[in-house]
Structure 1
Amino acid sequence: MSSIVIGTLLWISVQPLIRLQASFSRFLCVGCGFGVTKAGLLPAVAARGIGLVIINVTTPNLMFSTIVPSFNSSNITELGPLVLVALIYMLIGITLSWIIKQLFWVPHRFRHGILVAGGWANIGDVPISVALSVMASAPFNGTDDENLAVSYIAVFLLVWSVTLFPLGGHRCVMMDFEGPDLENDEVKERLSTKHSKILSRLAAVFLHLRQIFLFNHPPVKEIHTEVGQNSGEKETPRVTFTHEDSVTTCYRPSEQEEIGVLTLTNEHMLPPKFLDPTSPSLTSVQPGPLLTDGAEKVSTTTGPPDSITGHVTVAHAHWFHKFISLAFGFLRSLLTPPSLSIIVSFIIAIIPSLKALFVPGVPGTHIPSAPDGQPPLALIMKTATFISGASVPMGLITLGSALARLSIPLNQLSSLPLGAIGSLAVGRLVVMPVLGILICQQFTHIGLIDPSNNVLRFVCILLSGLPTATTMVFLTQVYSGTGNAEHLSAFLIPQYIIMFVSMTAITSFTLHILFG
């Protein structure tokens, strides 16, 4: 590829990010939220109220005004791959966050929220703005590809909304604020104790494997038994194995010892080929109590069969009631404004006769127009579009407000969970894009993603490298009860700084894959 073509692709990649990230109006919104909070004009309670307005008013209207015009029945064949890719990205993000949580200490009030921060990305204004800018220029086809890209992003938005609200992903944020608070030192001490236990278990496994290797690897040259004294109390059978390079002596437990101890000792001390009771090498060793005897003793103390059946029936009833409770909880969560908006929007979008009531120019429909020449319910769509316009500015203002409450002196940076913060930023903006490219390329290779659909391929790869959703700021402010989101803000700042470089690289590399 010539340097001119590479420069063109790089400019196409940088242009939407300049319009999105370096836009003075967007930075002004964040600055306004930061400034009014520092001036004491936007207290925490007010920030919490703005978060409720965003979740229950502006976000549902944004979903409705985006999904209805951009999605239609002709996109239904791509619905499966889009949903699958969205779920895979979410599971990868949650897994990376869980690993980070095991390796690095995380504030107690963010112990569950870090899973949401890793699994739910900023699917909304960021990818839509980038996709619209890229699709408007060659080598894409302008308006048609713009609408197609938005419709594909709407599917990711649906998966994002359904998993966060009806399926209970937001409850992880709520769980962070249950129970008493813990100091950071106590959290670090618990994590250190957990690491010590894991290392001790790994060491035990290593020793066990080494013991098995030593028993199975060298050939045994000689075996004999003898009776010796153990601590001067009683005679104890003793078996001696003579190897080429070592001599191993195993003491056989007495019959009074427990079956579990005898079985464990024999299995770990005697090589498998000497466990055969018919082996002539062990004819001089008296066998211990049989395992079946112990099994009979256990079975005689477990109670009559009727009591076991009763316990099973009670367990089944418990799980049935639990399933019913979860089902009703899921149905209740579907009635929340964001979830209900998503469901209604997709139903309207895929039924042409319903869509034509809101959007003009729907093929195959003949809906009489209103006196102004617009669809009968176009006023509802215009109102939703108007309200949704407040979603992004209000979100940026509350983000600036949350950042303003992150007051940590420079000489106390070590008090922050720097390991978890840096790992989450690298995981979301470096590791996940690499995995996203590999997954999408493999899906294209096997035919799950149409190789000729460059818009679909671009959207799938683009959405693998997004930072954490700013919606988490609103959720944290709502569930904290104080309107604060200090921990989350510390995790968001590095991601949105790295996004300048990472999304430029992802967009440029994706265009190189598609058209290079």
Structure 2
Amino acid sequence: MSESLSLGTIIYTAVKPIFKIYLIIASGFILGNKNMLTVETSRNLSDIIISFIFPCLVFTKVVSNLQNSDIKQIGIICLLYILMTLIGGIGGLGCYFLGKPMYWLGGCLSVALMPNISDLPIAYLQTFSTGAVFTEAQGEKGVAYICIFTAVQILFQFNLGLFKLIGYDIDQQKKHDPTKKILNHSEKDVNNISCSKSIQEEDLNDVDSYTSGDEENQNQIDNIVRPLVPTASIQRVASKVSNLSLRKCRSQNVHDIINEYSQAADIGDDVHAVPAVNTELVLVPTHMEPAGNKWKGKIKSLFWFSVDNWRRPVSISLVLSMVVSMIPWVKALFVSTNQAHLPNAPDGLPPLSFIVDFTEYVAQACVPLGLLILGATLARLEVSQLSWKVLRTPLMITGLRLVILPIIGTAIIAGFARYGWFDDDDILRFVSTIVWCLPNATSLIYLTAFYTPLEGSWSQMDQLALTYIIQYPVLSISLPFLTTYCIKVSLDY
């Protein structure tokens, strides 16, 4: 730049995106508290995002902004993520041995390994790139880089099986704590009972006031309302009554998330969890290999496990978009490029530009919906027991994720820059910096709920909830600080 930016301008530009992000998260928080964005609704929306909207985002950003000359940048992204994973894993082990949380080794490592590297940094960058620092074109390319980071994380978390770390904690507690008896569900059950009764009474009144002469409709309503039992959980009640009635009940909490996702009762020696096509987990039978082929069977199983997970829409979208973006004459069918020229359609645009228009239009919903779901999820987190022993590990993890890792990441990136790795690609260096300063991935909540049994006393969700509760207030300070340092010092704007 010909003229350097003032420190005040950079600080304001760094803080401004935080307001947008936190306002959307707060809106989701309110919608979650009002039971307008319920656990079931959030789950359905998450499936839609992962299976449809996010693949559209990946396709439109990669095809529109990357080309075969960007192979080096993609390699840098993969290397940085591997380094971030290794350093985060070592830091997570250190936090575990210093904090000594009970039965939370896998969860502690997962928190250290898996940042929220999708909707949060995209929302931040999209606002940041409309200011005085980066152009909109640079911002679009930065979003494409973030999509590559996200794809690499999905590869590690699901294809390579890092999600199993969370199941390890539950298995260890089952083996070494056979005395576990009762989860403190009494208050939840009372609330559910009273809520169920109020819903039944309200809906029964609706039935009594039903004046239609259609006997068939009357019988359908009777069959829905009257069999409800007072002890049913709010999810089962909600499936049988109107959403308007559900909104009058108490706010759903973390137990409702566990009730919705938990499949722990079905996991055993002959059944194990694998990722579904939408990055959720499903249960499949375990096929035992002959004793003589134990290691060969494990290697073969891991290979096919990894290969099979490339069927997911995100993986397919990434591979397809990379192929299109790396072959100039194929890319010219979708977007204009200076590497190849093909006859345009009658409207003067590339022949398949309507596909990019479609994916770009759909992709616009990805980040707002993701942040709303994040807010609704945060609204349901709670901690049943709070003590220094419980609090110290989440505090150390927060220090690791939002203080130590950004310092280490900035030093590594500065070293890469001295050797000319970034080739004056300021947006790549900026994206590579901010991904070191992100809170936990939201998916860890659902993975923990998946493995958590409905009965018994389990502290894993308490530890995880505390990390989110502590990290998001700290993020509002640490991310703008890192951004300001990167722009003013590292990039010398």
TM-score range, shorter chain: 0.5 to 0.7
1:130 paired with 2:133, answer no
Indicate which of 436, 445, 456 corresponds to 1:473.
445
Residues 183 and 377 from structure 1, CA distance in 2 versus in 1: closer, same or farther, beyond 3 angstroms? Answer: farther
1:276-331 Cα distance to aligned partner (Å, 9 max, x none): xxxxxxxxxxxxxxxxxxxxxxxxxxxxxxxxxxxxxx999543333222211111
Alignment of 1:83-122 (within 5 A): 83-106=78-101, 108=103, 110-122=104-116
Greater Rg, structure 1 or structure 2?
A: 1
Per the alignment, in what secondary structure is the counterpart of residue 159 of structure 2? coil
User: In the aligned structure 1, how far is the partner of 2:373 from the partner of 2:6?
Assistant: 41
User: In the aligned structure 1, how far is the partner of 2:453 from the partner of 2:341?
Assistant: 51
Residue pair 2:17, 2:123 contacting (<8 A) in 1 also: yes
Match of 1:17 in 2: 18
Match of 1:236 in 2: none
Residues 445 and 453 from structure 1, CA distance in 2 versus in 1: closer, same or farther, beyond 3 angstroms? Answer: same
User: 1:370 Cα shift?
Assistant: 4.4
Match of 2:9 in 1: 8
User: 1:510 Cα shift?
Assistant: 0.9
TM-score (norm 1): 0.64
Matched letter for residue 50 of structure 2: I
Matched letter for residue 13 of structure 1: A
User: In the aligned structure 2, how far is the partner of 1:59 from the partner of 1:368?
Assistant: 30
Matched letter for residue 169 of structure 1: L
1:319-377 Cα distance to aligned partner (Å, 9 max, x none): 3333222211111111222222222222222222332333x322233344445554443
Match of 2:367 in 1: 392
User: 1:139 Cα shift?
Assistant: 4.8
Residue pair 1:48, 1:477 contacting (<8 A) in 2 also: no
Residues 180 and 386 from structure 1, CA distance in 2 versus in 1: closer, same or farther, beyond 3 angstroms? Answer: farther
User: In the aligned structure 2, how far is the partner of 1:11 from the partner of 1:473?
Assistant: 33
TM-score (norm 2): 0.67
Residues 174 and 332 from structure 1, CA distance in 2 versus in 1: closer, same or farther, beyond 3 angstroms? Answer: farther
User: In the aligned structure 2, how far is the partner of 1:479 from the partner of 1:347?
Assistant: 37
Indicate which of 144, 147, 152 corresponds to 1:154.
147
| Structure 1 spans left out of the alignment, 5+ residues | 188-313
Match of 1:289 in 2: none
Matched letter for residue 5 of structure 1: S
Alignment of 1:167-178 (within 5 A): 167-178=160-171
Residue pair 1:68, 1:349 contacting (<8 A) in 2 also: yes
User: In the aligned structure 2, how far is the partner of 1:186 from the partner of 1:416?
Assistant: 21
Per the alignment, in what secondary structure is the counterpart of residue 468 of structure 1? coil
User: In the aligned structure 1, how far is the partner of 2:42 from the partner of 2:130?
Assistant: 37
User: In the aligned structure 2, how far is the partner of 1:454 from the partner of 1:186?
Assistant: 56
User: 1:175 Cα shift?
Assistant: 4.2
Residue pair 1:405, 1:486 contacting (<8 A) in 2 also: no
User: 1:183 Cα shift?
Assistant: 9.7
User: In the aligned structure 2, how far is the partner of 1:161 from the partner of 1:439?
Assistant: 23
Residues 16 and 396 from structure 1, CA distance in 2 versus in 1: closer, same or farther, beyond 3 angstroms? Answer: closer
Match of 2:64 in 1: 69
Residues 171 and 391 from structure 1, CA distance in 2 versus in 1: closer, same or farther, beyond 3 angstroms? Answer: farther
Alignment of 1:361-400 (within 5 A): 361-370=336-345, 372-400=347-375
Residue pair 1:33, 1:396 contacting (<8 A) in 2 also: no
Residue pair 2:4, 2:492 contacting (<8 A) in 1 also: no
Residues 67 and 364 from structure 1, CA distance in 2 versus in 1: closer, same or farther, beyond 3 angstroms? Answer: closer
Q: How many residues align?
A: 376
User: In the aligned structure 1, how far is the partner of 2:321 from the partner of 2:108?
Assistant: 30
Residue pair 1:67, 1:345 contacting (<8 A) in 2 also: yes
User: 1:50 Cα shift?
Assistant: 4.2
Residues 65 and 448 from structure 1, CA distance in 2 versus in 1: closer, same or farther, beyond 3 angstroms? Answer: closer
1:464 paired with 2:454, answer no
Indicate which of 316, 341, 346 corresponds to 1:340.
316
1:59-87 Cα distance to aligned partner (Å, 9 max, x none): 33332233222221121222222221121
User: 1:422 Cα shift?
Assistant: 0.6
1:397-436 Cα distance to aligned partner (Å, 9 max, x none): 4334433433447xx4228721111111110000001101
Residues 162 and 4 from structure 1, CA distance in 2 versus in 1: closer, same or farther, beyond 3 angstroms? Answer: closer
Residues 385 and 480 from structure 1, CA distance in 2 versus in 1: closer, same or farther, beyond 3 angstroms? Answer: farther
Indicate which of 416, 429, 439 corresponds to 2:412.
439
Residues 320 and 185 from structure 1, CA distance in 2 versus in 1: closer, same or farther, beyond 3 angstroms? Answer: closer
Indicate which of 352, 355, 364 corresponds to 2:328.
352
User: In the aligned structure 2, how far is the partner of 1:344 from the partner of 1:50?
Assistant: 24
Alignment of 1:215-234 (within 5 A): none
1:104-131 Cα distance to aligned partner (Å, 9 max, x none): 24354x5423322211212123223333
Indicate which of 320, 339, 350 corresponds to 2:296.
320
User: In the aligned structure 1, how far is the partner of 2:402 from the partner of 2:178?
Assistant: 29
Per the alignment, in what secondary structure is the counterpart of residue 76 of structure 1? helix
Residue pair 1:113, 1:176 contacting (<8 A) in 2 also: yes
Residues 56 and 377 from structure 1, CA distance in 2 versus in 1: closer, same or farther, beyond 3 angstroms? Answer: same
Residue pair 1:107, 1:487 contacting (<8 A) in 2 also: no
Residue pair 1:113, 1:172 contacting (<8 A) in 2 also: yes
Match of 2:486 in 1: 510
User: 1:485 Cα shift?
Assistant: 5.7
| Pairwise CA RMSD | 3.5
User: In the aligned structure 2, how far is the partner of 1:185 from the partner of 1:444?
Assistant: 54
User: In the aligned structure 1, how far is the partner of 2:387 from the partner of 2:393?
Assistant: 12
Compare 127-136 and 495-504 and name the one that shifted more: 127-136
Residue pair 1:48, 1:478 contacting (<8 A) in 2 also: no
1:80 paired with 2:75, answer yes
| Structure 2 spans left out of the alignment, 5+ residues | 181-289, 455-459
